Amino acid sequence: MERFLGGRRAALQEHIQRRQEVHVVMGNEACDLDSTVSALALAYFLAKTSVPPKAAFIPVLNIPRADFALRTETTFLLREHSIPDSSLIFRDEIDLAGLHRAGLLSLTLVDHHVLPSTDAALEEAVVDVLDHRPLEREWAPSCQLTVELVGSCATLVTERIAQGPPGVLDRTTAALLHGTILLDSVNLSPAAGKVTPRDVLCVSLLESRFPELPPHDSIYGALQAAKFDVSGLTTEQMLRKDLKTVSGDEQVLAISGVYMDIELFLRRPGLLQDLETFCQTRGYSVLVAMTVSFNDCYEPTRQLAVYSQHEALRSTVCRALEEATTPALHLQALPSPWPCISAYAQGNTLASRKKVLPILRAALGGGPGTAAGPEEEAAPPPTPMNSLVEESPLAQAVPPVCPQAVLERVSRMAAEQPDSDK
Ligand SMILES: [Mn+2]
């Protein structure tokens, strides 16, 4: 696998130059671990088994390279298996529309089967679909369809590989698929309601071929921890990882979920400059950082930092938060080292971002009618995960230092939230 990926860029160039077929395997725009691993593993399998192998099989990560650092569980797992970022090909590094116009493109979709309208032209190039969500649209009979409601698309890829000739699966591919199925199925926990017998079977199959694969709890705990590990991110990346905006009549306010204690956040080197640049380049008048961290008893703590260069606007937003009654946030002012940042401990730890958003919207003068405005959340959130700041399966998850406690809680939460992200 490592060698295969390392050679993709050269193979792509060569095929373009010689006007030979380029067969792209691509996941969805959220580009979560499942989409990434499914694309890598299936492209590898197709390259190994296609006869004659005249097409270049190219796995494509369906995000710009600049967003990859935010997929911390993916960067973690690939790093564990010595796959460098440099051998990955991202959406902004390949001209799919151009390849298609030149008649060179075949497309296999994994982990989704509805292309966004901006990619509608690529539909004609689709030859194969592997997805694990309910079929939403028809495809031409010439297109191979594998749409099965299992816990992870990686399960369908594993099954495809298992049905193929023996000896194709290598240790790295197996480990990537194994970790992905465990993460998506909430560690095969029936209580979480994600796992199916086929996911379990694929995990056993991978383990029977590679008995040295790590125990479920350790790999699941490590991936779950990596998902929320922002220690390697810049302030800008941290703010972008889990970002939503609300628009008032004239102002745009951003609210970011930040997974660290507010005191540490406020003391980040270069914070003010980073906040100013972040808001200026994106046109935000106010930025609210909702930090989520955990105490020794694994209870979540929520804190708020309100930043704005416009003092009157910051005061307006702060007052709205302080005086909110539906719900009351029970804010307590915290010392802030910066005059343009107001900081609070949020006594009402149950008030997730979903509850705080309407308060902020009202403060900006936007009526309830703007709630579903197209300007809000027009782009998919950069990180495909159940945010800790939302009411999600992980909303009250413990920090993943204690795998048992995590598993137990996550399973319980996930079971209560059947509509969480895939
Ligand atoms: Mn998936």
What's the CATH code of the domain at 291? 3.10.310.20
The answer to the question of residue 185 being in a domain is yes
| Stronger pLDDT, 410 or 369, i.e. the higher one | 410
Mean per-residue pLDDT, 338-346 = 96
210 and 79 housed in the same domain: yes
C-alpha of residue 235 to centroid of ligand 1, in Å:
28
| Total tally of structural domains belonging to the chain | 2
Domain span at residue 344 reads 235-399
183 and 252 housed in the same domain: no
**pTM reported for the whole predicted model:** 0.78
C-alpha of residue 34 to centroid of ligand 1, in Å:
5
C-alpha of residue 99 to centroid of ligand 1, in Å:
26
52 and 87 housed in the same domain: yes
pLDDT of residue 390: 54
C-alpha of residue 48 to centroid of ligand 1, in Å:
24
C-alpha of residue 76 to centroid of ligand 1, in Å:
18
Ranges 316-320, 350-354, 395-399, 411-415, most confident: 316-320
Please give the single-letter amino acid code of residue 117: S
Give the separation between CA 25 and CA 50, rounded to whole angstroms.
14
| Residue 138 pLDDT greater than 90, yes or no | no
pLDDT confidence tier of residue 51, bands split at 50, 70 and 90: confident
C-alpha of residue 43 to centroid of ligand 1, in Å:
17
What's the CATH code of the domain at 146? 3.90.1640.10
Q: What is the pLDDT of residues 158-169, one digit of tens each?
A: 999 999 999 899
pLDDT of residue 396: 41
C-alpha of residue 372 to centroid of ligand 1, in Å:
26
Distances (CA, A) of 323 to 328, 338, 344, 357, 389: 7, 22, 13, 14, 21
pLDDT of residue 136: 87
pLDDT confidence tier of residue 1, bands split at 50, 70 and 90: very high
The answer to the question of residue 261 being in a domain is yes
Mean per-residue pLDDT, 298-302 = 78
C-alpha of residue 358 to centroid of ligand 1, in Å:
30
Q: Show which of 195, 227, 259 is a domain's final residue.
A: 227
Average pLDDT along the chain: 87
Show the tokens assigned to 263.
């005191």
pLDDT of residue 316: 95
Q: Show which of 227, 250, 284 is a domain's final residue.
A: 227
Q: What is the pLDDT of residues 398-420, one digit of tens each?
A: 444 444 555 555 555 544 443 33
Distances (CA, A) of 228 to 43, 84, 127, 272, 388: 28, 21, 36, 23, 9
Contact status, residue 346 vs residue 330, Cβ threshold 8 Å: yes
Mean per-residue pLDDT, 373-398 = 45
Please give the single-letter amino acid code of residue 243: L
Mean per-residue pLDDT, 161-179 = 96
Give the separation between CA 73 and CA 229, rounded to whole angstroms.
8
Distances (CA, A) of 80 to 36, 172, 188, 274, 310: 15, 10, 22, 30, 45
pLDDT of residue 170: 95
How many CA atoms does the CB half-sphere of 361 hold within 13 Å? 19
| Residue 383 pLDDT greater than 90, yes or no | no
161 and 71 housed in the same domain: yes
320 and 367 housed in the same domain: yes
pLDDT confidence tier of residue 249, bands split at 50, 70 and 90: confident
Query: Of the ranges 188-192, 265-269, 388-392, which one carries the lowest mean pLDDT score?
Result: 388-392
C-alpha of residue 163 to centroid of ligand 1, in Å:
21
pLDDT of residue 378: 40
The answer to the question of residue 414 being in a domain is no
pLDDT confidence tier of residue 227, bands split at 50, 70 and 90: confident
Give the separation between CA 47 and CA 58, rounded to whole angstroms.
9
C-alpha of residue 402 to centroid of ligand 1, in Å:
26
C-alpha of residue 158 to centroid of ligand 1, in Å:
13
C-alpha of residue 131 to centroid of ligand 1, in Å:
7
- Pairing label, strands 89-90, 56-61: parallel
The answer to the question of residue 159 being in a domain is yes
C-alpha of residue 15 to centroid of ligand 1, in Å:
30
| Residue 204 pLDDT greater than 60, yes or no | yes
Please, which residues have CB within 8 angstroms of residue 71's CB and are 6 or more apart in sequence? 31, 32, 33, 36, 63, 383, 384
